[in-house]
Amino acid sequence: MSDISHAQRVAIVFLASRTQAAQDARDALIARYGDAPLETAEVIVALGGDGFMLETLHATQARDIPVYGMNRGTVGFLMNEFETEDLPERLAAAQETVLNPLALTATTSSGRVHQALAINEVSLLREGPQAARLRITVDGKLRMEELVCDGALIATPAGSTAYNYSAHGPILPIGADVLALTAVAAFRPRRWRGALLPKAATVRFDVLEAHKRPVMAEGDGQSVRDVVSVEIRSETRVRHRLLFDPGHGLEERLIREQFF
């Protein structure tokens, strides 16, 4: 259960993507329940798809208040069903899931250092026609001298059904303290199946022959080109609080996804 009490008096702020469906939904909900300023709101209702949910979580992470998504987009894996009725009661009954993002530190060929947070995954992808060559170190210990591939990624449990799953990585239970390391179109070792790593691990990718085989790093839509090294770790000091209707939380969705 969420810690939202006195459901009828909870201060809600409604945020919506730019699509007409999301904007219309926001107008209807504000007309019914009002709209609190973000600075004083007790809960955020995000209207859109999964991409907008990620935007909302990043933009409001300093507030440390729960976010309840309603799907006005396409996939809606991180969203609840849209309905204008009984919203305060749904918020009061909602179950909370806490997510920690990944922190990435990427160094480019020019020596610039970029830092960012990613909720789903951090991926490294080749920029040119030739396969990438990556060296993988985990907690300071060399684990793979050379991975030749189109790319590689580190996924959180929440992000394991996204790009990670499309790359044939494992779906992780939401409460698992592990990360998935998955190769994208591995050429050598050709049959490497990836790895499961402790959530507390720090993973470093070094790009070999970066001038000849350029690589970009990306996390939740934030891209850094021409990277020579990327370090990734869980950022436990940042937490994202998501609310889901009972019986439709992330744990149930992750299990259900595996039986399609």
Instruction: Give whole-number Cα distances, 108 to 62, 211, 215, 223, in Å.
Output: 28, 11, 10, 12
Question: Does residue 50 have a known ligand-binding role?
Answer: yes
Looking up tokens 């894996």, which residue turns up? 77
| 246 prior amide bond cis, ω within 30 | no
The values of phi and psi at residue 51, to 5°, are -60, -40
Is 132 labelled a binding residue? no
| Residue 68 marked as a ligand binder | no
Of 24, 50, 220, 245, which one is the catalytic site residue? 50
11 is in an annotated binding site: no
On whether 257 is known to bind a ligand per the annotation, the reply is: no
Which residues in 200-212 are b (16+ Cβ under 10 Å) and which e? ebebbbbbbebee
Q: Is 180 annotated as a binding residue?
A: no
50 noted as active-site residue: yes
Beginning with the edge strand found earlier in the chain, give each strand of the sheet holding 222-224 in spatial order.
Answer: 195-198, 178-184, 151-155, 121-126, 215-219, 222-224
The annotation status of 100 as a binding-site residue, yes or no, is no
Is 33 annotated for ligand binding? no
Q: Which of 167, 10, 197, 193 is nearest to 86 (CA)?
A: 10
39 is in an annotated binding site: no
| Helix (H), strand (E) at residue 217 | strand 215-219
Give the phi and the psi of residue 183 in degrees, each rounded to 5: -85, 150
Q: For residue 256, how many other CB atoms are within 10 A of its CB? A: 11
Check whether 19 is labelled as a binding-site residue: no
Question: Annotated binding residue at 222?
Answer: yes
> Would you say 71 is a known binding-site residue?
no
Q: Of 247, 241, 176, which is closest to residue 3 (Cα–Cα)?
A: 241
The response to whether 120 counts as a known ligand-binding position is yes
CB-based contact 121:162 (threshold 8 Å): yes
Q: Any binding-site annotation on 59?
A: no
Give the residue numbers of the binding site.
50-51, 120-121, 150, 158, 161-166, 185, 222
- Enzyme catalytic residues: 50
Give the residue numbers of the binding site for NAD(+).
50-51, 120-121, 150, 158, 161-166, 185, 222
